[in-house]
A and B are shown apart, each in its own frame.
Chain A
Amino acid sequence: MATEAHGEATGLSFHPMDQFIVRPLFGDGAVHWYTPTNVTLWLFLIVAATLALLVMGTRGRAIVPSRSQSIAELAYGLVHKMVADIAGKDGLKYFPYIMTLFMFIVFANFLGLLPMAFTVTSHIAVTGVLALSVFLTVTAIGFIKNGAHFLDLFWVRSAPLAIRPVLAVIEVISYFVRPVSHSIRLAGNMIAGHAVIKVFAGFAAIAAVAPISIIAVVGMYAFEILVAFIQAYVFTILTCVYLKDALHPSH
C-alpha cells in the first residue's frame, strides 16, 4: 500500500500533491486533449456557478435587489470601478473580458476550497494560458492603439538620457516577465495553500497531535478563503494595470 511506500516508520502518509492529479472522468485511460477530465468537470462547475450568480441571481432585475442580485451587482461594481479607475474610461471597452477573468478565477479558487474539489487555478497550464492571453491581448492593443509609440513604455523620458538605454533593457525584461509572474503568483498561491492543508490533515493520523492538526487546518482554511479572493483580485487588478500601460504607454 501507499503507506508502506511513504511512511512505514511513523504510520503517516502524506500525499499533498495527489489532489492536483489530472484524471479522466470516465475510466482509467490516457489523458488525451479531448478527454473529459476532472479539470473539465470543475471548469464546467465554474461556468455553472457564474451562471447561477450573474444570470439566475439577477433574473428579477429588481430595483431593490435580492441577496444574490446584490452580490452580482457588487462584483460588477468592483470590477467596473477597478477598470475605470486604473485603465481609464477608454479601458471600459475591455470590461467584459476582465469581468470574465475575475469571475473565472474567483469561482475557480472558491470551488477549489470545497472538500474533494479540484482547483483548476492551481495548474500552471491554466494560469499560464490566462496570463499569456492577457499578455498577448494587451500587447496587441498597445500596438494597435499607439503604433510605434507603444515602445515609449520602455523609453523612460523622465530619466536622464544616459541611463535610458539601461532602463529600456530592464523595462523590456520586466515586460516579458509579466506573464510568468502573473501566472505563477496565482498557481503558486493555490498549490501552496492546498498542499499545506493536506499536510496538516496528514498529521491528524497521530492521535496526540490531531487536535492541533485540526485547528491548524481550520485556520489555514480560513486563510485560504482570504487568499482565494485576494489572488483573484490581484490577477484582475494587474490585468487592469497592464491594460493601462497598453492604452497610455507614456510614462
Chain B
Amino acid sequence: MISLLQEAAHTAAEHTESVASSIAHGETETATGLPQLDLTTFANQIFWLIVTMLVLYWVVAKIALPRIGAVLSDRQGAMTGDLMAAEEFKLKAKEAEAAYDKALADARAEAGKIVAANRAEIQKELDAAIAHADAEISARAAESEKRIREIRDSADTDAREVARDVAAELVRSFGGTVDQAAVDQAVDSRMKGALQ
C-alpha cells in the first residue's frame, strides 16, 4: 500500500518535473490527456463558479427580473387600457352615429311636413283661384249670351222691318196698294226659320 503511494508520488513528481522543464525550455504548455480531468484545478473552478453564481443570481433575481417583469406588466396594462379606451371610443362613435341618423330622420320628417303644409296651402289658393275664375267665366259667358241674344233679336226685328219696308215699297212701285197686314204675314212666313 505504502509502496504504491510512494510510486504514485514519484510519478507525480516526475510529471511535474517534466512539465516544469518544458516550461523552462520556452514551450507553450500542452495538455496531456483531458484538462477537464485535472483534479488540481477543480477547487479553483468550483470556488470561482460559486462566487459567480451568487453574484449572477443576485443580479438576475434582484435587478433584472423585477425590472423586465415590471416592463412587461406595464405593457400589458397599457395595452388593455388602450383596448378599453378604444372600445369606449367605438361605443361613443356608435352613439354619435345613432344621434346623427336620428337627427337626419327628424329633419326629413320636418321637411316632409313643411312640404305637405305648403302643398295644401297652395292647393287651397289654387282652388280658390280656380273657383273665382270659373265664376267669372260663367258670368261673362252669361252676359255674352244675353248680348248675343239681344243682338240676334234686334237683328230679327231689323230684318223684318227692312223686309216689310222693302216689300211695301216693292208693292207701291208696282202700283199696288199696300196692305200692311198681308205684307206682314208674307214677311213673317218667309222669315220663319231663317233667323232663329
A50 contacts which chain B residues (CB < 8 A)?
56, 59-60, 64
Q: Among A30, A31, A76, A104, which residue has its beta carbon within 8 angstroms of that of B68?
A: A76
Q: Among A1, A62, A97, which residue has its beta carbon within 8 angstroms of that of B27?
A: A1
**Which of A13-21, A199-207, A220-228, A233-241 lies at the interface?**
A13-21
Of B45, B47, B67, B69, most buried by chain A (CB within 10 Å of CB) is B45
Q: Among B29, B40, B68, which residue has its beta carbon within 8 angstroms of that of A72?
A: B68
B27-61 CB contact bits vs A (8 Å, 1 = yes)?
11111011111101111111111111101110111
**Which of B72-80, B83-91, B97-105, B117-125 lies at the interface?**
B72-80
- B64/A39 in contact, CB under 8 A: no
Minimum Cβ distance to chain A for residue B28 (Å): 7
B57 contacts which chain A residues (CB < 8 A)?
96-97, 100
Q: How many residues of A contact B (CB 8 A)?
A: 57
B41 contacts which chain A residues (CB < 8 A)?
22, 31, 37, 39, 125
Minimum Cβ distance to chain A for residue B191 (Å): 121
Minimum Cβ distance to chain B for residue A163 (Å): 39
B40 contacts which chain A residues (CB < 8 A)?
30-31
- B60/A20 in contact, CB under 8 A: no
A23 contacts which chain B residues (CB < 8 A)?
29
Does more than half of chain B's interface fall in helix, strand or loop, or is it mixed? Answer: helix
- A47/B52 in contact, CB under 8 A: yes
- A73/B68 in contact, CB under 8 A: yes
What is the CA–CA distance of A61 and B69 in the complex, to the nearest angstrom? 10
Whether A43 is near chain B, meaning CB under 8 Å from some CB there, is yes
What is the CA–CA distance of A117 and B51 in the complex, to the nearest angstrom? 20
The residue of chain A having its C-beta at the shortest distance from the C-beta of B20 within the complex is: A28
The residue of chain B having its C-beta at the shortest distance from the C-beta of A122 within the complex is: B36
What is the CA–CA distance of A47 and B50 in the complex, to the nearest angstrom? 12
Minimum Cβ distance to chain A for residue B31 (Å): 4
What is the CA–CA distance of A73 and B48 in the complex, to the nearest angstrom? 28
Whether B23 is near chain A, meaning CB under 8 Å from some CB there, is yes
Whether B71 is near chain A, meaning CB under 8 Å from some CB there, is yes
B48 contacts which chain A residues (CB < 8 A)?
37, 39-40, 43
A residues 23-38 touching B (CB-CB < 8 Å): 23, 28, 30-35, 37
**Which of A51-59, A150-158, A174-182 lies at the interface?**
A51-59
9 more A-B contacts (CB under 8 A) besides A20-B31, A100-B53, A120-B49? Answer: A20-B36, A21-B31, A22-B45, A43-B49, A50-B59, A99-B65, A104-B52, A124-B36, A133-B53
Interface residues of B (CB under 8 A from A): 23, 27-31, 33-38, 40-53, 55-57, 59-61, 63-65, 67-72, 74-75, 78
Interface residues of A (CB under 8 A from B): 1-2, 5-6, 15, 17-18, 20-23, 28, 30-35, 37, 39-40, 43-44, 46-47, 50-51, 54-55, 58, 61-63, 65, 69, 72-73, 76-77, 95-97, 99-100, 103-104, 120, 122-126, 129-130, 133, 187, 191
